[in-house]
Amino acid sequence: MAMVLKIENLHKSFKLGFLLKKMKILRGIALSVEQGEVFGYLGPNGAGKTTTIKCILGLIFPEEGKIEIFGHPHLSPKAKEKTGFLPENPYFYDHLTASEFLDYYSQLFLIKKEEKEKKIKSLLRLVDLELSADLQLRKFSRGMLQRIGMAQALLNDPSLIFLDEPLGGLDPLGRKEIRDIIVRLKDEGKTVFLSSHILQDIEMICTRVAIIVNGEIINQGALQDLISEKILFTEVILSGVGEKELEGMGEYFSGHGDRTLLKVFKEENVEKVLRLVQSSKGKVHSLIPRTETLEDLFVEIVKKR
């Protein structure tokens, strides 16, 4: 796989407060992103995710470090011509319709008139806004605004797309719509650099991740290498067995109606619970082994730091 983004020893500070005290935001960031992958850049609020993206795109300048995009210095026109960017809080001219908005930005890319109309229709179809093409942006929902922002980021047909917290503030339906678009971009061979703190979504779509805390990358790699497949506990939902009979088997939680949730941490106790349910003529409604998740890994790392 070809390398599309490489960062070495990136440092960035800001002067803050009345005394303009220098505060270190990025501390030696180093990472690489390969062509065709969805790379998740994870961290709590204030960890340095947006600062990293702004340094990559040349919106702010680091004190130290090297950034290459497609093998070119990140500030060169060659690096920029095939990149797209959706910021965390994009600004929209909300008196424009969706079509007018994309038409306006297409002029910045010098897209020829005969290509422009076809491209705008194609992008509106991609982000499922064809029926809203003539609707003013002020009437868009948060999820619709994220989708039109995504369309704008794709106007120049970029090979590398930076998405800064694209899932923030969206309801479950809106998050699924954005996730589906990202997966579609990956299927087309594009590379996506995705900054987020919504870990369930990252786990669904990312091939590799890097976790940043207090301006330092603490862990990075393929998800299957970072997350252990060891069973942490088995979740059993059952009925027909009393709390006293289940004592010592695991953590007991009373559920809805006559159903009980039991978290069983010892493997040998799972068989005991099943035999107990059978002898009591009860019923097992579900039995789910729970392995480590990205959220477990993330919380552990952040707490340690």
- The CATH number given to whatever domain includes residue 26 is 3.40.50.300
Same domain as 112, residue 30: yes
- Give the helix/strand (H/E) hosting 77: helix 77-80
DSSP-based three-state secondary structure for 127: coil
Same domain as 194, residue 247: no
Closest CA to 283 of 235, 240, 236, 234: 240
Average pLDDT over residues 144-159: 91
Same domain as 239, residue 207: no
Between CA 146 and CA 167 the distance in angstroms is 8
CA atoms in the 13 A half-sphere facing the CB of 248: 5
pLDDT above 80 (res 41)? yes
In a domain, 301, yes or no: no
Same domain as 158, residue 43: yes
Between CA 26 and CA 33 the distance in angstroms is 18
- Give the helix/strand (H/E) hosting 239: strand 231-239
In a domain, 71, yes or no: yes
In a domain, 157, yes or no: yes
Same domain as 286, residue 175: no
pLDDT value for 229? 64
Our count of domains for the chain comes to: 2
Residue of 127 and 300 predicted with greater confidence: 127
Same domain as 186, residue 79: yes
In a domain, 305, yes or no: no
Average pLDDT over residues 112-120: 88
Residue of 303 and 141 predicted with greater confidence: 141
CB-based contacts of 32: which residues, under 8 Å, 6+ apart? 3, 5, 6, 7
Say which amino acid occupies 293.
T
- What is the side-by-side order of every strand in the sheet holding 216-222? 83-86, 160-164, 191-196, 38-42, 208-213, 216-222
Same domain as 278, residue 144: no
pLDDT value for 141? 87
In a domain, 298, yes or no: no
Q: Are 240 and 282 in contact (CB under 8 A)?
A: yes
Between CA 160 and CA 296 the distance in angstroms is 29
pLDDT value for 281? 87
Same domain as 249, residue 107: no
Q: Pick from 201, 226, 251: which residue ends a domain?
A: 226
Q: Pick from 226, 241, 268: which residue ends a domain?
A: 226
Residue of 88 and 134 predicted with greater confidence: 134
% residues pLDDT > 90 (the chain): 41
Same domain as 216, residue 256: no
In a domain, 304, yes or no: no
Average pLDDT over residues 51-75: 94
Same domain as 269, residue 289: yes
Same domain as 96, residue 239: no
Closest CA to 68 of 24, 113, 6, 16: 6
pLDDT above 70 (res 228)? no
The CA-atom distances, in angstroms, between 221 and each of 11, 196, 210, 217 are 21, 16, 7, 11
Between CA 196 and CA 114 the distance in angstroms is 37
Straight-line distance from the first to the last Cα atom of the chain, in angstroms, rounded to the nearest whole number: 33
Same domain as 258, residue 198: no
The CATH number covering residue 287 comes to: 3.30.70
pLDDT value for 256? 67
The CA-atom distances, in angstroms, between 164 and each of 169, 194, 195, 237, 251 are 13, 6, 5, 39, 39
Range of the domain at 279: 231-293
Q: Which residues pair with 97 in a beta bridge?
A: 136
pLDDT value for 171? 81
Average pLDDT over residues 80-85: 91
Say which amino acid occupies 9.
N
Average pLDDT over residues 63-71: 94
In a domain, 303, yes or no: no
Q: Are 220 and 31 in contact (CB under 8 A)?
A: yes
Q: Pick from 208, 226, 244: which residue ends a domain?
A: 226
Residue of 9 and 199 predicted with greater confidence: 9
In a domain, 183, yes or no: yes
Q: Which residues pair with 263 in a beta bridge?
A: 235, 251
Residue of 186 and 298 predicted with greater confidence: 186
**How many C-beta atoms surround the C-beta of residue 259 within 10 A?**
15
* Torsions phi, psi for 130 (to 5 deg): -60, -40
Rg (CA), the chain: 24
Angle between helices 98-106 and 113-126 (to 10 degrees): 130
pTM of the shown model: 0.80
